Amino acid sequence: MSGNGSHPASVSSLLLGFSSPGANADAIADFYKGHTVTIYIGYAPGGGYDLYGRLAARHIGRHILGSPTVVAQNMPGAGSLKLANFLYNVAPKNGSVLGVISQSTPQEEALGTSGVSYESNKFNWIGRITSNVELSVVWHTSKIQTVEDAKTREVTVAGTGPTSASVVYPKVLNGVAGTKFKVISGYGGSAEGVLAMERGETMGALLSWASLKSTRRSWLADKKVFVLVQYAPKRHGDLPDVPAMTELGSTPDERRILALYASGAEIGRAITAPPGVPPERVKALRKAFEDMIRDGDFLAEVKKRNIEFDPLTGEELQKVVSEAGSIPPSLVARARAVRE
């Protein structure tokens, strides 16, 4: 009989354990019901990040417990560094704010880029809608058709912020592969950069394969642009004749540096939440993301708009992010120097 005193506590604990999933769900639904979730996009309207951020905003709300209103809002600046720092240091840590930030976020941290005030692994990564391959493209009137051509004459290209891919990638190729890209920076976003190329202000621009495929596919068929290089670890299946940047290094160290810069392709167009969001809300947001990417209306829009779709769950993406900024310490200084 001496054990009788412990039974009520044990039974209560069991009952509490059995009821907690439902209780958690109710608490999450109560938090989100009647409230607004904001998905901030770290770039100006009109580009690839904007495309995917707004796609998620249209569909994820009905899969979050409590069915909150979801809105998309742009917060451009410094290649999304402004938004990454905001999410990490300022944004509410309650699950009401999400973000779409640069696929090179871990890379900038690894290189000690000025202004970085975050740790990539501490973000709560919710899921990836697609991997993403950035491309250097040139307008058909430029007389440049291959990356080898870009080693023989100057190629002006439109750029945005100092840590943006449109500025960094061409400079990296200049430093490692001997190309002669001249970056004209200061454009408000990738859409402005592409317009600059069309208007003849520059010879080329950076454009994601996702954007080219969904909004400007006729450019390839009509030979309006030539794709010089794809910034990815390996060639995309749709672009078998375009070299990946990792192929352009001539030594193991050069290829390792290029692999670092190419690693962001696996992060792609992803949704993240600030650090410190309660684990049960992170779990609920990841579940909502997984439900969204299986949703019929979501998939119908992806198909109708010819949107690139290559998803990863939040758990899978968290692992990708943890590996993306990997580089031997002995190469950090050189990896920084090649983009100067």
- pLDDT tens figures, 282-295: 999 999 999 999 99
In the chain, count of helices (H) and strands (E)?
13, 11
Quote helix, strand, coil % in the chain, to nearest 5: 50, 15, 35
pLDDT at 228 over 60: yes
pTM (predicted TM-score): 0.84
Picking from 77-86, 123-132, 321-330, which range would have the lowest pLDDT averaged per residue? Answer: 321-330
Residue positions counted in the chain:
340
- Asked if 97 and 68 count as a contact pair (C-beta separation under 8 A), the reply is no
Same fold, 19-132+267-337 and 134-263: yes
pLDDT of residue 148: 98
Q: What is the pLDDT of residue 21?
A: 62
Q: Side by side, which strands form the sheet with 36-41? A: 69-74, 36-41, 97-100, 269-273, 124-130, 312-313
pLDDT band at 4 (very low <50, low <70, confident <90, very high): very low
* Token pair recorded at residue 230: 């794809």
Q: Which CATH number fits domain 19-132+267-337: 3.40.50.300, 3.40.190.150, 3.30.1180.20, 3.40.1410.10?
A: 3.40.190.150
pLDDT-derived band of residue 214, with 50, 70 and 90 as boundaries?
Answer: confident
- Are 295 and 288 contacting, i.e. CB atoms less than 8 angstroms apart? no
Place of tokens 């019929």: 296
| Residue 248 scores a pLDDT above 50 | yes
Instruction: Return the minimum-mean-pLDDT range out of 3-12, 26-35, 99-108, 219-228.
Output: 3-12
- In this prediction, residue 190 carries a pLDDT of 87
CATH number for the domain whose boundaries are 134-263: 3.40.190.10
Predicted local distance difference test score (pLDDT) of residue 164: 85
- Within 13 Å of residue 285, how many CA atoms lie on the same side as its CB? 32
What is residue 20's predicted lDDT score, i.e. its pLDDT? 57
Give residues with Cβ within 8 angstroms of 8, minimum separation 6: none
Which of 127-136, 215-224, 308-317 has the least mean pLDDT? 215-224
- Split at pLDDT 50, 70, 90, the class of 140 is very high
Domain ranges (residues) in the chain: 19-132+267-337, 134-263
The pLDDT of residue 12 is above 70? no
Give dist(CA 91, CA 184) in Å, integer: 32
Q: What integer pLDDT is reported at residue 215 of this predicted model?
A: 86
Residue 108 CA neighbour count, 13 Å, CB half? 26
Specify the higher pLDDT residue, 18 or 288: 288
CA 97 to each of CA 34, 38, 39, 71, 272: distance values in angstroms, whole numbers, following the listed order: 15, 5, 6, 10, 9
Find the mean pLDDT for residues 235-250. 96
For position 189, what pLDDT does the model report?
85
Among the listed residues 176, 192, 183, the one whose alpha carbon sits nearest the alpha carbon of residue 154:
183
Beta strands in the chain (DSSP E): 36-41, 69-74, 97-100, 124-130, 134-139, 155-158, 181-184, 204-208, 225-231, 269-273, 312-313
**Beta-bridge partner residues of 98:** 39
